[in-house]
Amino acid sequence: MTRGRNGNGVGPASRPGRPVKASSRVYVMVGSPGAGKGTQAQLLSTALGLPHIASGDLFRAALASGSALGEEARSFMDGGSLVPDGLTVRMIAHRLDESDAAEGAILDGFPRTLPQARALDDLLAERGSSVRGALYIDVSQDELVRRLSGRWICQGAQQHVYHETLRPPAQSGICDVDGTQLHQRPDDRPDTIRTRLKLQLPPMYEVVDHYADRGVLVAVPGEQPVEHVTSSLLHAIDRAAAAQATT
């Protein structure tokens, strides 16, 4: 069982959500940093034939293109401010208008807060759609700290990333590619990670509760091999689709 903001155990939700157009399959990835959302989003993108839309990639692409949205985002980022939710939603709306997203998409990195989830609901409702499934990868805090604190980065120009247990270098402390020494960023240290998680987890649990209340939460344990998590998500998606087809 997984737990949301109020400590309520929630598994794959059973309450029916808002009707979704058959041609629109919008899924959102939910989980803490280190839970494996990006990895699973890429694998699910291939399995489901839907584009993987990562909010970070959207920002980078918009900035690089010099588009009006990108320049608007730059005005906030250059000033050290967070990009407003409304602007992020507009970027997502623009991306969903592209032809490869005609059948839906897998959103990664957004929503992260309850206001963002509600804004996404409003955007999709305007299009006669809604979130088909919120794919929650549930990982314990101790495991998150282990995963995040094990990251080491080389000092070369490409900054190749290693992990103490998941992807160790052939020679301890040395990059396999360019031979430079590995170092750990201050924000990858266990005490810093625990402090950061205390701030990040409560808003995420609100998002979990939101989608559970809407009947579209798909929760799977994330402390399994990568391929097992993917299989669990796909099976849960199939079950949810079958249940929706009978309602």
Give the residue numbers annotated as catalytic, written as ranges.
37, 112, 151, 185, 196
Name 200's Cβ contacts closer than 8 Å, sequence gap at least 6: 32, 33
CA dihedral (36, 37, 41, 42) in degrees, to 10, reads -40
- The angle that helices 141-149 and 190-213 make with each other, rounded to 10 degrees, is 130
CA-based torsion, 191, 193, 196, 201: positive or negative: negative
Give me the residue label for tokens 């009978």.
Answer: 246
Return the closest-CA partner of residue 96 out of 128, 72, 118.
Answer: 128
Query: Is 174 exposed, middle or buried, given 0-12, 13-18 or 19+ CB atoms closer than 10 A?
Result: middle
